[in-house]
Structure 1
Amino acid sequence: MATRKVTVTIPEDLLEEIRAEVTDRGLSAYIADAVRAQRDRDRLLELAQWLQDEHGPLTDAERATAAAELAAVDAEHARRRTAQRRSA
């Protein structure tokens, strides 16, 4: 895959956090993955808007269900991070 070098400005504290987490894959790969993830989120938001335009807005019950599912995913991620840190 072709690559191109670019210059970006990033807050120093964020850069230090990223560098602390980056392993063998390197800073450039980490940032490229982050940009891809953001692009994917942007596309999902666009899809959500199209669906809302087509089918109407979510109900309060649908929003509550989605929020609960996201909270469960967040809790699982936190649990796994804690377990990983304890085993390291």
Structure 2
Amino acid sequence: MSEPTGKYSITMPRDIAEAAKARSGPSGLSAYVAAAVARQIERDNLNELIKVGEAEHGPITEGEIQALRDQLHEAREQQARSGANAA
């Protein structure tokens, strides 16, 4: 079951609105904007978690970030190899 919806009036630059409208496809501008706002809320929540973690444990170093990127890259490569082997 979907969440109930409400109707809101928003103001944004015309060029952004037109670009969003052109990209929204069959789901429509409202769904496109709702998805964009949902992604921004997720980012805001993640940034809050990062701030709490850094306040407790100190900032994340570039080396730690790169190590995690390397792990993610390796996991994606393994997943791609697994998918190719299953086909």
**Gaps (5+ residues) in structure 1?**
70-88
Letter in 1 for 2:34: A
Match of 2:80 in 1: none
Letter in 2 for 1:30: Y
Residue 33 of structure 1: how far off its partner (Å): 0.7
Match of 2:6 in 1: 4
**Gaps (5+ residues) in structure 2?**
70-87
- Measure the CA separation in 2 of the matches of 1:13 and 1:48: 33
What is the TM-score with the length of structure 2 in the denominator?
A: 0.69
Larger radius of gyration: 2
Give identity over the alignment, percent.
42
Residue 20 of structure 1: how far off its partner (Å): 1.3
What is the TM-score with the length of structure 1 in the denominator?
A: 0.68
Higher relative contact order (CA 8 A, sep 6+): 2
Aligned residues: 68
Match of 2:36 in 1: 34
